[in-house]
Structure 1
Amino acid sequence: MGAEVAIGGWNQTPSGTMGYKSFSDSIDLENEAKYDSATQVMARAKIDMPLFIPNIYLMATPMKFDGTGQKTQNFDFGDKNFNASAGFYSELVLNHYDVALYYGIPFLETLTADILSVELGIDARIMDVSATVRQDTFNKEASFSETILVPMVYLGFRVRPMEWLAFEGEGRGIAYNSNHYYDAIARVKFSPLPTPLRSLFIAGGWRYENIALDEKDIIIDVTISGPFLEAGVDF
């Protein structure tokens, strides 16, 4: 058995739209809600299991944005109608937690002298989705909060040309009906310290998520992307 644990920060830049109980009245996250980039913690752990037991990949990704903006026309969010003559405060939370079960392609690392490895599996993503729109001028507020389970396919690979350097990629995704969810991670990992500390590493890369969700009157079509840095240990 073995494990890898890492924690870091992801600079998340949101774009797209959100709505609630109204297909025609959506809020633009950049131009109307005025959401800015936010650096938030993310953490992950991979556990290599023995024999034929699937390996485990756990990941936590907090995601929260808020801002004060304004629309050029009245709009509905939930059961409330908001007035364009005044600004509004809004908050969007898309926290998600992953549990993946996967296998490595047998003998690939041995055949490539430990340079290439590929992982295939399934991922269960638990999403805590919530949003609030509030207009204090008119004493109006509407919100929703749901927990949604999203099953996904998982694919990962690693190219390690040197013992202290590795290039990694991860993809998770699903598409059904009018919904889809894609999550891609590209990572460069360094182990700069000599033996016996070579199990310590630092890594940096880019993460991209695209979500189109129409569930339980929640309408979300957003993209979140940006660079990240992390530090971790292999043991």
Structure 2
Amino acid sequence: MVAVVVVGMSGNASALGLEISAGGWAQSPDGQLAYKSLATTDSLDLENDARYDEETQALVRVKIDMPAVIPNIYLMASPMEFEGAGQKTTAFDFGDIQFDASIPFTSRISLDHYDLALYYGIPLLGTASLNTLNIDLGINVRMIDIEAEINQPTVGKRESIDETLYVPMAFLAVQITPIEELSIEAEARGVGYSGSHYYDFIGRIKYKFAGPVFAAAGYRHEEIEIDEKDIRAEVDFSGPFAEAGFQF
């Protein structure tokens, strides 16, 4: 559910806007992940080896429009967890353990990430466009809480990861409001450095259908290529999401 509250303080130069949202995101995993790997065969394919399927997780956002020159704040939490039972036709190293070829294993991976963006809207753009266009620019810091575990119980092998990464990113958001009831939104977060990159794109359509009540739906795509703290990942997660709530 999405709840949006906008508080205006008349007769005062300052104004505060608050948006709180929650919804569900259907996450489809693709790509490869390795930990302390020495060879390309150590990479674990999320679909073919781990046999992860699409999972639907919560998506929570909080936006605070600050007064005057104080930057606006955008918080977002994106839980992400997959588990499955699979096997790999070749032996592979994960951490300090070598897992045996063609023996079934179970695995679980969570990549919960939390965002903090500080941003400004382009001044006077709303007025110039008759309140139909708004563009926000800023910086975003993403904290990724990585946990992974692989078990091969028939041979008594187990290894796990528990790491936290912090990724600074650029932030861009565009809102188009052709009519009061309808808004089309796009968000982009991204960074590229030293052969690594991390991109996150969100498209959203909101429709206000009964007074303050609105529904929203969209699509989100994340593309990650990193080599940090012995973790090498070339993965992407994508899928539709839906939200509903209130706007005052």
What SS is found at the alignment partner of 2:209?
coil
**Structure 1 CA distance, aligned partners of 2:38 and 2:84?**
22
Distance 1:55 1:14, change over 3 A: same
Over the residues paired in the alignment, what is the CA RMSD in angstroms? 0.9
What SS is found at the alignment partner of 1:110?
helix
Aligned letter for 1:67? G
TM-score of the pair, normalised by structure 2: 0.91
**Structure 1 CA distance, aligned partners of 2:113 and 2:89?**
32
Runs of 4+ in 1 over 6 A off after TM superposition: none
Distance 1:187 1:94, change over 3 A: same
Aligned letter for 1:181? Y
**Structure 2 CA distance, aligned partners of 1:218 and 1:143?**
12
Matched, 1:55 2:72: yes
Q: What is the deviation of 1:66?
A: 0.8
Percent identity at matched positions? 52
Aligned letter for 1:232? G
Alignment correspondent of 2:21: 6
Q: What is the deviation of 1:23?
A: 4.2
**Structure 2 CA distance, aligned partners of 1:84 and 1:148?**
30
Matched, 1:207 2:228: no
What SS is found at the alignment partner of 2:145?
strand
**Structure 2 CA distance, aligned partners of 1:233 and 1:177?**
43
Aligned residue pairs total 231
1:37-56 map, 5 Å: 37-56=54-73
Q: Unaligned stretches of 5+ in structure 2? A: 1-15
**Structure 1 CA distance, aligned partners of 2:171 and 2:66?**
17
Alignment correspondent of 1:221: 234
What SS is found at the alignment partner of 1:34?
coil
**Structure 2 CA distance, aligned partners of 1:23 and 1:56?**
41
1:133 to 150, 167, 178: 150
1:1-235 map, 5 Å: 1-24=16-39, 25-194=42-211, 198=212, 200-235=213-248
Q: Unaligned stretches of 5+ in structure 1? A: none
**Structure 2 CA distance, aligned partners of 1:179 and 1:113?**
40
Aligned letter for 1:190? Y
What SS is found at the alignment partner of 2:210?
coil
1:42-84: CA deviation from partner (whole Å, max 9, x where unpaired): 1001110000000000000000011010111111111111111
**Structure 1 CA distance, aligned partners of 2:223 and 2:146?**
15
**Structure 2 CA distance, aligned partners of 1:169 and 1:59?**
15
**Structure 1 CA distance, aligned partners of 2:78 and 2:113?**
5
Aligned letter for 1:21? K
1:130-150: CA deviation from partner (whole Å, max 9, x where unpaired): 111110011100111111111
Aligned letter for 1:177? S
What SS is found at the alignment partner of 1:191?
strand
